[in-house]
Chain A
Amino acid sequence: MIGTLKGMLTTARWLLKRPVTAHYPEQHLPVQERYMGFPALLMDDTADEPFCTGCMVCVRECPTQCMSAQMHDNPKFADGTSHRRKIINEFEINLNRCILCGICVDVCAFDAIEMSYEHELASYARTGSRADLTLLLDLGRRYVDMSGWNPENPEKNVAEVALAKRAAAAAAKAASAGDAAAADEPSEEEE
């Protein structure tokens, strides 16, 4: 009897306090900074193209095999406006199968894919969760806006920086023409 009363008292004490639950559809709780939502592709604004070169590493490493990618020769590489020899042509992630493990982000060496904050992508059609390149880049843009993301390795992956570095290296090479010490800059893309 006393135990029951005690229990009632504890419960009663909470009657007047603020509720601790958030009423979901009306109220959205903010996600944490490291939150891993669906993967999204990022855009290299300096060359107006995705970071992704279609190297297929993430496609191979994904534990659920939910991605597919296709690459082609980058026309901008010929123009000299990008340092990426190959560029992604099509990219699809089946978000129904994605388990949000983040392995694709870990293995990507081109800063091309990130786990976005997106988690409300339910749709009415079974095919509705197949995210194509446009959608993935949209998600990526939204993620960059929300998180202030910066590429981890700009020297290698941001077109402007990489091209400038390459130009500087070439200039230095030309300046010390014939100098043996110039072979210090290995070509970084082996695609």
Chain B
Amino acid sequence: MTTEQAYDTVDMMLNMGPQHPATHGVFRMVLTVDGERVVDVTPHIGYLHRGSEKLAENESYGQVITLFDRLDYVSNLNNELIFCRAAERLMGIDPPERGQYIRVVLAELNRLASHLLFIGTYAIDLGAMTPIMYGFRERERIQNMFESVTGARMMHNFIRIGGVKEDVPPDFVPRVRALADDVERGVEEVDRLLTFNEVFLARTRGIGVIDVPTALSCGLTGPGLRASGVAYDVRKDYPYEVYPYLSYKVPVGENGDCWDRYYMRVLECYESLSMVRQCLDQMEEGPVMAQMRRIARPPKGEVYVHGENPRGDIGVFLVSDGTDKPYRVKVRPPSFCNLVALRPMMRDAYIADAVAILGSLDIVLGEVDR
């Protein structure tokens, strides 16, 4: 009796973050561990809270775009696009076709850049130092292209309500073609290096498995959900911009484990490249900006618009009271909603896998905390 009491074990609380390098920002998890196993996990967020949604209420529509740049700071153009689409829907504007093609090319390139960053940092989370070099090399090429088109490497403020800021430079098409070829080689290289590496497989196969019902009830979207086997992609299911004119596959995984979530992103890189090439083929000369007043002043009303970000389904709920400033801007950030799935994924995992699971969700704290 007494001996049993002496060996009685208790769960231990283990704090991870907010300054932990593997959390990709300032994110804190409190793990409850039983020996090597994680029993429970409580995420603590808010360290990067800037009040973007509230700030947006005091800025004119044109200025809010700069705030959206800073939500998911590795896929800025996708964020700009979603806000501009919401405002356009409210105002009943249809951007000209060339403008839409330019937007989609840039958004897909941004998706590539974001996924390359994920592949690199995910490998580094798992102890592989090389892939991040390859990932960043290709990402650098894409950002150089952005710099020559939008003038900035990250905070572009290029997609505007009604179209894009200005037409692309004259050598845009050949340059993007060359870029697509280069990046494709780069992605293949990382793919060869990492995807079927034994150590990598051992660290990710069967780790952090999430089944479809749990994933759906957690609100998981994007590559995370597709890895579990649900072919949900906003670009396919609720087409917007010129996506219906493009042919592409939606990669779907089987097991819903970390490896699948990683591999979905690699496959999406190839799909994005093919989409960029198709856009370049289909693009025609024309205006890039719709005819409208310089200061956007949508009529009274509200609208919810969503789209596919690299991290999942981003939504914007926009309420206008008829002035030049939005009455309310609510963002459904994919990273934040994906974080809900952290607990079911982590349950019963080893502590050593916690980083692998968190990394596979690919959260961006700028978006989680807003």
Binds A, one of B12-20, B192-200, B245-253, B276-284: B192-200
Is B348 in the interface zone, CB < 8 Å from A? no
Would B147 and A32 count as touching, CB distance under 8 A? yes
How many A-B residue pairs lie within 8 Å, measured between CB atoms?
Answer: 66
When distances are taken between beta carbons in the complex, the residues of chain A under 8 Å from B205 are none
Chain B 130-180 interface residues, beta-carbon cutoff 8 Å to A: 130, 137, 140, 144, 147-152, 155, 157, 165, 169
Would A7 and B130 count as touching, CB distance under 8 A? yes
Would B63 and A103 count as touching, CB distance under 8 A? yes
B114-142 near A? 1/0 per residue, CB < 8 Å: 00000000000000001000000100100
In the docked arrangement, what's the CA distance between A3 and B59, Å?
53
| Neighbour of B155 across the interface among A4, A101, A115, CB < 8 A | A101
Known contacts A4-B199, A63-B63, A36 near B151 by CB under 8 Å: yes
| Neighbour of B147 across the interface among A6, A7, A20, A35, CB < 8 A | A35
Name, among B67, B130, B157, B194, the residue most crowded by chain A CB atoms within 10 Å (CB to CB).
Answer: B157
Would B150 and A4 count as touching, CB distance under 8 A? no
In the docked arrangement, what's the CA distance between A27 and B166, Å?
31
Is A164 in the interface zone, CB < 8 Å from B? no
Minimum C-beta distance from A76 to chain B (A): 30
When distances are taken between beta carbons in the complex, the residues of chain B under 8 Å from A31 are 147
Chain A 4-56 interface residues, beta-carbon cutoff 8 Å to B: 4, 6-7, 10-11, 20, 31-36
Minimum C-beta distance from A38 to chain B (A): 12
| Neighbour of B150 across the interface among A2, A11, A34, CB < 8 A | A34
Is B62 in the interface zone, CB < 8 Å from A? yes
The chain A residue sitting closest to B131, CB to CB, is: A7
Is B32 in the interface zone, CB < 8 Å from A? no
Is B66 in the interface zone, CB < 8 Å from A? yes
Is A100 in the interface zone, CB < 8 Å from B? yes
Is A185 in the interface zone, CB < 8 Å from B? no
When distances are taken between beta carbons in the complex, the residues of chain A under 8 Å from B199 are 3-4
When distances are taken between beta carbons in the complex, the residues of chain A under 8 Å from B321 are none
Would A3 and B137 count as touching, CB distance under 8 A? no
When distances are taken between beta carbons in the complex, the residues of chain A under 8 Å from B148 are 32-34
In the docked arrangement, what's the CA distance between A11 and B149, Å?
33
The chain B residue sitting closest to A36, CB to CB, is: B151
On chain A, the number of residues with a Cβ less than 8 Å from chain B's Cβ atoms is: 24
Would B151 and A10 count as touching, CB distance under 8 A? no
Would B130 and A3 count as touching, CB distance under 8 A? no
Chain B 182-211 interface residues, beta-carbon cutoff 8 Å to A: 189, 192-194, 196-201
Would A3 and B196 count as touching, CB distance under 8 A? yes
The chain A residue sitting closest to B149, CB to CB, is: A34
When distances are taken between beta carbons in the complex, the residues of chain A under 8 Å from B62 are 61, 103
In the docked arrangement, what's the CA distance between A7 and B46, Å?
39
Would A32 and B193 count as touching, CB distance under 8 A? no
When distances are taken between beta carbons in the complex, the residues of chain B under 8 Å from A101 are 66, 155, 157
In the docked arrangement, what's the CA distance between A49 and B165, Å?
30
On chain B, the number of residues with a Cβ less than 8 Å from chain A's Cβ atoms is: 30
When distances are taken between beta carbons in the complex, the residues of chain A under 8 Å from B189 are 10
Minimum C-beta distance from B163 to chain A (A): 13
| Neighbour of A7 across the interface among B59, B63, B152, B193, CB < 8 A | B193
Name, among A20, A61, A101, A106, the residue most crowded by chain B CB atoms within 10 Å (CB to CB).
Answer: A101
The chain B residue sitting closest to A3, CB to CB, is: B197
Minimum C-beta distance from B251 to chain A (A): 21
Would A115 and B151 count as touching, CB distance under 8 A? yes
Is A99 in the interface zone, CB < 8 Å from B? yes
Known contacts A1-B198, A3-B197, A63-B66, A34 near B147 by CB under 8 Å: yes
Would B152 and A36 count as touching, CB distance under 8 A? yes
Would B130 and A100 count as touching, CB distance under 8 A? no
Minimum C-beta distance from B362 to chain A (A): 22
When distances are taken between beta carbons in the complex, the residues of chain B under 8 Å from A32 are 144, 147-148, 151
When distances are taken between beta carbons in the complex, the residues of chain B under 8 Å from A61 are 60, 62-63
In the docked arrangement, what's the CA distance between A54 and B152, Å?
27
In the docked arrangement, what's the CA distance between A153 and B137, Å?
41
Would A35 and B151 count as touching, CB distance under 8 A? yes
Would B198 and A3 count as touching, CB distance under 8 A? yes
Minimum C-beta distance from A130 to chain B (A): 21
Would A11 and B63 count as touching, CB distance under 8 A? no
* 27 A–B contacts, CB within 8 A, in A order: A3-B196, A4-B198, A4-B199, A6-B192, A7-B130, A10-B192, A10-B193, A20-B140, A32-B148, A34-B147, A34-B151, A35-B151, A35-B152, A36-B151, A36-B152, A61-B60, A63-B59, A63-B67, A99-B66, A100-B152, A101-B66, A101-B155, A101-B157, A102-B151, A103-B63, A103-B66, A106-B165
| 4 residue pairs, one from A and one from B, having the closest CB atoms | A36-B151, A63-B63, A32-B148, A3-B197
Residue ranges of B at the interface with A (Cβ–Cβ < 8 Å): 59-60, 62-63, 66-67, 130, 137, 140, 144, 147-152, 155, 157, 165, 169, 189, 192-194, 196-201
A-B contact sample (18 more), CB < 8 A, given A20-B137, A32-B148, A33-B148: A2-B198, A3-B199, A3-B201, A4-B199, A10-B192, A10-B193, A20-B140, A32-B147, A34-B150, A34-B169, A35-B152, A63-B63, A63-B66, A99-B66, A100-B152, A101-B66, A101-B155, A102-B151
